[in-house]
Structure 1
Amino acid sequence: MERIQAAIAKARASRNASPPVISRRQLVGAAFWEALPRHTPDRALMERMRLCGGESNLKTGDFAAFDVLRTRVLKLMRANGWKRLAITSPTAGCGKSTTALNLGFSMTRREDVSAILIEADLRRPSLASKIGLKQPQDVCAVLRGDADLSANACRLNDRFAVASSDGPRQNPSDLLQSPRCAEALDRIEKTYAPTLMLFDTPPLQVADDTISFLQHVDCVILVAAAEHTTIKEIDASEREISSYTNVLGVVLNKCNYPEEEYGYADYP
């Protein structure tokens, strides 16, 4: 019995003394992450934009739903070996960009998750204004492969980076479906080794931009607005997406009458 206890103690000491094994890819990816400039959004702006990350007075209950969404998304994506997730909506005004940012913040509250959110809604970009980025760069140069992600993206926390557009573009679908875009995304994934790549894509029924881009992603979340998006629009959008890639689920946003009895607790 004493020999067994001594062996267990020796094994424990060995485990405690041994540093964790870190792959070369992780080391290289971490170095590139550190090179990305840091941007801390203004606290008042975060609250005004309903963003649940960083310094905020928003109640814990306000972002609990995004934590539930995060857990479900991670479980499904890991089970299928997926890494690229697009967020879209049937029409404009459903809150897909806010959902994309909040999902990114929620994802990276977990220490084992890193995420890069890339703006692919190039006709009406909004990510820079939502996080208060005064001088956004040209994300199109990154998607064309003419510039590295570091020339555009900024880190909102240690593991969440956002690449945004400096202004609207006309007819971006040619770029979004091009081989150059595919190569650029592959290079970003290889270089930065994020757990997930998120993409804020245009509404499906506005133009063909999202359909052009779906070949580059593994799955899609469809954001619908309560009392605005119709069942017919959701059904048509799901069928459209499923002909190109996987529908991960539908998120109901802007619900004015939540069922409070399902809440876990009240917060002061």
Structure 2
Amino acid sequence: MEKIRTAIAKARAERDATGAGILAPRKTAPERTTVPDTVGANWAALPIATFDTDLMRRNRIVSFIRGPESASIDMMRTRIMQQMRDNNWRRLAITSPTAACGKSTIALNLAVSLTRQRDIRSLLLELDLRRPSLARMIGINPRPVDFTEVLRGKASFAESAACFEGNLAVGSNSNKTRDTSELLSSAGVTDVLATIEADYQPDITIFDMPPMLAADDMMAFAAKVDCVLIIAVAEQTTTKEVDICEQELARQTNVMGVVLNECRYMGREANYGYYS
């Protein structure tokens, strides 16, 4: 027993002499670095707006409430999103051959329908600068800062936009604008749109454009989008007008298809006219 005690004492002495008995500091897990959700913060900072149910109904925004009336818009939404994902497209322009075809109504219906898909963030940007209507249609008129000022680089998107349902941001205008085709074709607008997309990273950006045959605005902007949807009106828009639009747009971008609006002779199986 004495020999064992002596051996232990000797071992302790040797350990103390070499410093082996000093406990090393405890290693702690490195602190987690939290990556800030800058995009989420940008969305959260946008001014919040709410849909006025009565106003939406008066302006025929039927996609506001899911039901039989919204079914055709939801079907169009799904087809559009499928085609855009398949082609890796993110920018969709909506135009028409002439005025009074309902393009702004359909653009807004599409955007509102997308709000019900919570994992999708959408932008609806008004580029029909000669005859703006979106702010009036959704009850956010007058705007504190027109979206045109954002396009000119004089204001930020957050100063102009209104956010609905947390995943739809609308950039609209209260005032008419001149020199629109020059503005839309400018390099400055290209940079502004790139900045907005970098800050908010939308899954889809919808551009409400002027009528194709009314001015050169659509042609001035066409190269900046991935695809275009043409809105035609039954018993008003001619086949020749649609053909002209398709041929002119196809030289600069992709023509996704044509929506036939206000058609009274569709069967039950087809809630809207759409073809590629």
Instruction: Give me the TM-score of the superposition, normalised by structure 1.
Output: 0.84
What letter matches 1:34 in structure 2?
A
Say whether the 8 Å CA contact 1:220–1:249 is kept in structure 2.
yes
1:65 aligned onto 2:62: no
Give yes or no for the alignment of 1:97 onto 2:104: yes
How many residues were matched structurally? Answer: 237
Aligned partner of 2:191 in structure 1 is 183
Aligned residue among 110, 113, 122 for 1:115: 122
2:208 matched to which residue of 1?
200
Q: Does 1:37 align with 2:37?
A: no
Measure the CA separation in 2 of the matches of 1:176 and 1:212: 6
C-alpha contact 1:118 1:197 (8 A) present in aligned 2 = yes
Residue type at the aligned position of 1:48: R
Aligned to 1:16: none
SS in 2 for 1:260: coil
In structure 2, C-alpha distance between the alignment counterparts of 1:24 and 1:171, rounded to whole Å: 43
Structure 1: 5+ residue stretches without partners: 1-22, 264-268
Task: Quote the residue 1:152 is aligned against.
Answer: 160
SS in 1 for 2:155: coil
> Which residue does 1:125 correspond to in 2?
132
1:80 paired with 2:80, answer: no
Three-state SS of the structure 1 residue aligned to 2:255 is strand
Instruction: After superposition, give the CA deviation of every residue in 1:2-61 in whole Å (9 maximum; x if it has no partner).
Output: xxxxxxxxxxxxxxxxxxxxx958x2111111111111132111001011354x5xx711
Are the equivalent residues in 1 in contact too, given 2:63–2:110 (CA < 8 A)? no
Residue 256 (structure 1) aligned with residue 259 (structure 2): no
Aligned to 2:245: 237
| Equivalent position SS for 2:210 | coil
Q: How much does 1:138 deviate?
A: 1.5
- Give the Å deviation of 1:108: 2.3
- Residue number in structure 2 paired with 1:170: 178
Aligned partner of 2:59 in structure 1 is 49
Distance across 2 between alignment mates of 1:83 and 1:134: 28
Aligned partners of 1:36 and 1:191: how far apart in 2?
12
Contact 1:143 1:184 in 2 (8 A): yes
Root mean square deviation of aligned Cα: 1.7
Deviations 1:38-90 (A, max 9, x none): 11132111001011354x5xx71111111111111111111111110000000
Q: Which amino acid aligns with 2:101?
A: C
- Aligned residue number for residue 217 of structure 2: 209
Question: Which is worse superposed, 239-248 or 37-46?
Answer: 37-46
Letter in 2 for 1:205: L
C-alpha distance in structure 1 between counterparts of 2:269 and 2:214, whole Å: 37
Preserved CA contact (<8 Å) 1:46 1:52: yes
Letter paired with 1:80: N
Q: Partner letter of residue 219 of structure 1?
A: C
Q: Distance in 1 between matches of 2:40 and 2:149?
A: 23
Structure of larger gyration radius: 2
TM-score, structure 2 length as denominator? 0.82
Q: Deviations over 1:133-190 (max 9, x none)?
A: 1321221111122211101010121111110012111221111000000000000000
Partner of 1:222 in structure 2? 230
Runs of 4+ in structure 1 off by over 6 angstroms are: none
Match of 2:141 in 1: 134
CA distance in 1, matches of 2:161, 2:138: 12
Aligned-pair identity (%): 45
User: Is the CA contact (8 Å cut-off) linking 1:145 and 1:183 kept in structure 2?
Assistant: no
